[in-house]
Amino acid sequence: MPKPFITQEGLAAPMDRVNVDTDQIVPKQFVKLITREGYGKFLFYDWRYLPGEQPNPEFILNTPRYKGASVLLARANFGCGSSREHAPWAILDYGFRVILAPSFADIFYNNCFKNGILPISLSNEQMDELFKRAEENQGYNLKIDLENQVITDHKGLNYEFEIDPYRKKSLLKGLDEIGLTLEHDADISAYEKKNLHVPAMHEALDVKYHHD
Amino acid sequence: MNPRTIYEKIWHAHLVREAPGEPSLIYIDRHFIHEATSPQPFAALRANGRKLRRPELTFAVMDHSVSTKNRDLPMLDLTAAAQFDALAKNCKDFGVNLWDMHSRDQGIVHVIGPELGITQPGCTIVCGDSHTSTHGAFGALAFGIGTSEVEHVFATQCLQQFKSKTMKIDVQGKRPHGVTAKDIILAIIGKIGTAGGNGHVVEYTGEAVRGLSMEGRMTMCNMSIEGGARAGLVAPDETTFAYLEGRPFVPRGKEFQEAVDIWKSLATDDGATYDATVTLRAEELAPMVTWGTNPGMVTQVTSRVPDPSSFPDLADRKAAESALAYMDLKPGTAMEDISVDRVFIGSCTNSRIEDLRAAAHMVAGRHVAKSLKQALVVPGSRTVKAAAEKEGLDKIFRDAGFEWRDAGCSMCIAMNDDVLPSGERSASTSNRNFEGRQGKGGRTHLVSPAMAAAAAIEGHFVDIREWNSANGAE
């Protein structure tokens, strides 16, 4: 069950790159793990580390001024590619609670909400302004007020943002989506009964644990 | 009733519950799982004391990290081994059908689902894997989901979903010789961009799509996600029904005829409208090769590596510069002058029997270039492998200097030993040319099976339309 999201104020870090895919967010070798904790150290692994896991000084998040950032500024189509939820796990575990970008890939966008991360779409112009401010001002903080759907800084910036009301409610309350669906068990059972003959699947062959 | 698209028909047939201001609850007919994205949701199910609602609609296979060499040897990758063990135990505990790595029918989930006839028209199909869009080739609504949603389907056999917008991609006219389904979908992604389909379910229509086999339609639908669309589909027709008849999970006899009657009613009604429409002319298409680090960075084989300064948008220009630096390519280089180190024929995009036939046709009686470090053929399933061997394709490939392997995801995602080494360049029939996808520092060019095979012979990309006739073949 995700942590409720109320208001988040924190350091903004700029990731100035379009089409950041989930293979970059968490490379595949970490998709072999069977747990869901501790992925923060794998975030942007191939960009973040040099051989021997030495931090790459040229990678933006390794810059001391962005240490402790909790708001990620990103570019268009963030999170494209693989459906791996390891990507939002890593982003959250690293310390980000909010991602601001002009657009997100569908599956990643959806996965964020399941983990208490707030992805917000802003216009290209607004993102350009945020990138500019984050780069020009050391320790640039943003405050994201989900209840009122407003983003502010200490220099007079005030951006309203859109979010689906249901997703907003889920985030604010940290709702257990599965628990909510299970409350509609009667509807599910009724659907199953009504559609008993569909899909018309042939009697399954004995393939269980098939081993030649 | 208003004319409806196939997507709207499937959506409405699966509505369990609708309420204003909430996502709809839709029923899931088929849930595929594999070792890489299922351990955590099974663990969560246990931790929350929840049951798996419909184990008989859940289908598991080992594919991502399996060895394509000898599976009887002990596994050296202990992390992957733990993941396989977890899947086997979970399937046993929860009563889920599992095709393990030793099963006769094992293969890539998106190859075996259709092959076994588990994938059927009109179904809702999900898997914790973005290439689930493949199954849309059968006129099913199929899309990739994250781990939390895998758990949701386990516990409820439903998903909370917002309705998508619809996009029609119409490929008009006849597909020219040498142009495959892979080239069509790469051309589409090149046109709409990697985010062009975001928020949409795509329906592929037109003469060129209708003319494709099921294998070709699967190749196209598979890469819908590379154009940003979670799902892509093709309305079922006689080609679909002929493919399905007689497969293990497909109804037989009278039941089959009844199913076909239902499936025929799925096609989009005349007059139905889409939120967006994209049109391509098939005769303008050519064999395609990617030059960058996403599938939208693609051009015709007769073309050249673009100059980043030619992109009007600043972000695109920067992305192209960064891609060319990673790919170690110079603007203006002819695509045909790009030489490759390794060739990979496989993946859920292009590893079916028709793909292997197309590749074998190109290499028969020839040999891979001396400069080539490796040429790999990895059938999508053991069924495909057996069929290919029956036709003697394995011998053609081996004689030409290819390695003939066992089924799995292999070098498409490089979670097993099949890795593209850093700094090396591949011609690959897979779906993603992302940085590091085939191996950290590896440089991937996406192409069709015939193009990959020809590149293996010559050691660089060639226009198969010219090359094939020049070399005395068809």
- Note the pLDDT tens digit of each residue in B331-373: 999 999 999 999 999 999 999 999 999 999 999 999 999 999 9
* pLDDT(A212) > 60: no
Give me the residues of A, 134-173, that contact B with CB < 8 A.
164-166
Residue A197: its pLDDT value, please?
Answer: 61
Residue A205: its pLDDT value, please?
Answer: 47
pLDDT tens-digit readout, A43-70: 999 999 999 999 999 999 999 999 999 9
Beta-sheet strand order (sheet of B124-127): B97-99, B58-61, B30-34, B124-127, B141-144
User: Which of A29, A82, A206 is the best mutation test for B, with the most CBs of B within 10 A?
Assistant: A82
Residue B1: its pLDDT value, please?
Answer: 78
Asked whether the whole model's pTM tops 0.90, one would answer yes
Joined tokens for residue A164? 């689906």
User: Which residues are within 8 A (CB) of A32 and not within 5 positions of it... i.e. 6 or more apart?
Assistant: B36, B65, B77, B79, B80, B83, B415
Say which amino acid occupies B129: D
pLDDT category of residue B301 using cuts at 50, 70 and 90: very high
Q: How many CB pairs under 8 A join A and B?
A: 212
* pLDDT(A210) > 60: no
* pLDDT(A1) > 70: no
B154 near B164, Cβ under 8 Å?
Answer: no
pLDDT category of residue A6 using cuts at 50, 70 and 90: confident
pLDDT tens-digit readout, B97-145: 999 999 999 999 999 999 999 999 999 999 999 999 999 999 999 999 9
Residue B107: its pLDDT value, please?
Answer: 98
Q: Of B454, B441, B451, B407, which is closest to residue B102 (Cα–Cα)?
A: B407
B247 near B115, Cβ under 8 Å?
Answer: yes
**In this complex, which of A84, A86, A166 lies closest to B23 when CB atoms are compared?**
A166
- DSSP tag of A204: P
The secondary structure of B12-74 as a DSSP string is: HHTEEE--TTSPEEEE-SEEEEETTTSHHHHHHHHHTT---S-GGGEEEE--SS--SS-TTSP
- Percent of chain B beyond pLDDT 90? 96
- Taking residues B408-429, what's their average pLDDT? 97
pLDDT tens-digit readout, B221-255: 999 999 999 999 999 999 999 999 999 999 989 98
The secondary structure of B303-354 as a DSSP string is: SBPPPGGG-SSHHHHHHHHHHHHHHT--TT-BGGG-B-SEEEE-TTTS-SHH
Reported ipTM: 0.94
pLDDT tens-digit readout, A59-116: 999 999 999 999 999 999 999 999 999 999 999 999 999 999 999 999 999 999 999 9
Joined tokens for residue B106? 């094992």
pLDDT category of residue A20 using cuts at 50, 70 and 90: very high
Q: Measured between beta carbons, which residues in chain A are less than 8 angstroms from residue B436?
A: 23-24, 27, 46
Say which amino acid occupies B179: V
- B161-172 exposure pattern, b = at least 16 Cβ within 10 A, e = fewer: beebebbbbbbe
Assess A196–B contact: CB distance below 8 Å, yes or no: no
* pLDDT(A10) > 80: yes
The rounded distance, in Å, linking the Cα atoms of B11 and B119 is 17
Residue B420: its pLDDT value, please?
Answer: 98
- Taking residues B268-294, what's their average pLDDT? 98
Detail the DSSP E strand segments found in B94-177. Answer: 97-99, 124-127, 141-144, 158-161, 165-172
The rounded distance, in Å, linking the Cα atoms of A197 and B231 is 25
pLDDT category of residue B306 using cuts at 50, 70 and 90: very high
* pLDDT(A200) > 60: no
Assess A178–B contact: CB distance below 8 Å, yes or no: yes
Interchain contact, B230 vs A207, CB within 8 Å: no
Residue B470: its pLDDT value, please?
Answer: 60
The rounded distance, in Å, linking the Cα atoms of B55 and A183 is 20
Closest-CA distance, B181 to chain A, in angstroms, reads 20
Which chain B residue lies closest to A187 (C-alpha atoms)?
Answer: B16
Give me the residues of A, 110-129, that contact B with CB < 8 A.
110-111, 114-115
